[in-house]
Structure 1
């Protein structure tokens, strides 16, 4: 089977995750500033060899799913079953009309799958038509009886821990699931076990110890700390913008339409708050300024909504593997009064950026009737952004190695 075969992926996300503790299904919780399910799904959506990603959900979670995966291209979700096996079967049937040649099956509770592992999976399926990622067992394993007494010690060298994505020739795994359903077999804990039962030879390929499944509250705590420690390159940036008043009946400020006796003279919508934030984020990235990415000479940005600019800057951070730690805007004007709108503006910035509102500040001051803002000829804004990026060398996190002093 060639590696260029049409490959689809199923993301199994119908479980309730009760062992993970309170807070709703674990796949919709946040870890490292992003939802678990987004992290689990995004590598498949971006992989050049995967033509379709099929989510399988509990229908009660549709709203959470849509919010958590906004921006990802995927097939319409299908309804999951009462077991993982039933949910995978539903996903396979949903894909059948698209006639994939191979299919990757991945658990939504594994948010650290890499594109490299997906590529290894697609390559590995060629040998037998079924393959799973595994990692070696580091500890000695014991078989115990019902009383907790040791019965046997298996040979550790032959033991492996199975992970996902598991990969199969599509027609073979679909027929295996259909046969299991016909024969009333609902007890398989993973697709490899079902494939073995159906007579398929299941090969293995190199897994990844980082590709762990989030199961308990302790898993979330540990992985949150690991992600935080990996983002040790802390950057700050500042931004400034100003726009004069012109004709109009409203102002766009921090993404909020504010009624006013004047409008902004601007090429876009003139949102000084968001423009300053864009420059602050780009400054933290050392990635130019808003004018270099959205030149005012380009007519396509005429009247553009500034939330597009801010989302673009946020995406630039994500593309570098980073996250935004804090955003703040200070508006300088006599009118309109910002205080009554402060929390609305904070919420709007949080919505655009995907940053928790607790990490967004909006402040305001006047210039004591001095200068152009004091004469109410326009509004100025300053902004600051703190972002966290991974070190270029993840094994080298010392400040001294980055050019600072010990």
Structure 2
């Protein structure tokens, strides 16, 4: 039904949608985990916070698994290069995520302060560390990744495996990481304001009022930094977009302000950074007015704008190479075959509505404010 070039573009949109879906759903869980030591003072209060996400966190995390699977199937070259270059960072994320299922399932098995306190901090690490590292990864993609492709299209990296993590933690990438951590923390705080009883909801509201404006400031700072201090990438020549993928068949140059080309060519794309800047402030304002539901929607829009800004700025690049720009991987030359993209597309058309349907049903059936009375009547429950 669709030609090869159209399918390549569709899958760029679909992978982006999966990443945004992960940020909105599982980011909420990570935000709650990041806030756990600060919004809940007693064991009952911590159980209230945990129970707001307890029934949903495992389903939400499937968005991350699905996004990884989609990258593997749709962009195998990106999957191979990224999982090699970001190996240490991904292992750090993985080890942090280990604390989440074990913490949720085992925290309340023993009524011991030290036991439960240790798992509370484990849930904090499982929320804050991945949120930070995901942003750091995007920050490094915008700067270019130190890899190149040989004649057999095998990726090679500069440096050793043991020293691979430190260069990723550069100042611009850390700003991107703080944006990611901040926006997920705001999202989790709004969820607590929406679902948790007092005094947790009030504490979460105060935190949102502080962090949301900081997200806008950091996002603006990142944009200014990109304009003055981060060179972008521009394709000078390339094969037809319908051609079979070959990353080395194009010519790429690094250029100042190249990441802003899309906004000059398509001014409507400026909606993404505008939403990313205004969304956190709107969420904070609605939160202060006690409109937590609308604030949660505004937060989701803000994350869509921020992630969308990164994707639009880099388009059509997915993973630019800082060592040999011609080795950069793009939407047009890092994909699977036409048949693979077609089969995956129809799988999405069939199964995505089913997934969204039962997800909405689960949230609707388990909706309500989590209170201390409810927690105390279920002292031996899983959470």
- Choose between structure 1 and 2 for higher RCO, CA contacts under 8 A separated by at least 6 residues: 2
Q: Same fold (TM over 0.5)?
A: no
> When the two structures are superposed, what TM-score results if normalisation uses the length of structure 2?
0.25
Which structure has the larger Rg over C-alpha atoms? 1
**TM-score normalised to structure 1 length:** 0.24
